[in-house]
Amino acid sequence: MGREKHLALTAEEERLVRMLKALGNPVRWAIIKQLAGCGRCICGTLVAALPLAQSTVSQHLKVLKEAGLTRGEIEGPATCYCLDYEGIAWFKEQIGKHLGIERKPQAHIMNDERPTDDGLDEPERG
């Protein structure tokens, strides 16, 4: 059997990969969208909005929190969750940095850097 190769990642890249992995799960993505829409809510509110058991939602919230995408504050017997806007801002900045698109306007990316001959013929106008 061959040996598995591992990529050497910086701590910054490992954090970014953790965030990408967390966002790659459809349930966690739904939780992020729900939190973006309501601002703050308790786990029970998320359970009511999702077709999942409370324990499953709690586990997904734990992954999102560990990835730095959400925060949880204990309020009495419940934990109130919200987006971690500092973590999300860091994520956005790092994606731009690592993909080389941090300061390029969208029009520049779409128009100026696209190959002139992409092999697709434009429909004739007549």
What 3-state DSSP class applies to 1?
A: coil
Q: Which fold has domain 11-112?
A: Arc Repressor Mutant, subunit A (1.10.10)
* Sign of the torsion formed by the C-alpha atoms of 88, 11, 81 and 84: negative
pLDDT at 119: 44
Give 38-103 as a DSSP string: HSEEEHHHHHHHSSS-HHHHHHHHHHHHHTTSEEEEEETTEEEEEE-HHHHHHHHHHHHHHHT-SS
Token readout for 9 is: 């990642």
| pTM (predicted TM-score) | 0.73
Q: Would you say 47 and 57 are in contact if contact means Cβ atoms under 8 Å apart?
A: yes
pLDDT at 98: 84
pLDDT at 100: 85
Domain spans in the chain, listed from the N-terminal domain onward? 11-112
Q: What are phi and psi of 103, to 5 degrees?
A: -125, 10
pLDDT lower than 50: segments of the chain: 108-109, 114-123, 125-126
Nearest to 81 by CA among 95, 98, 64: 64
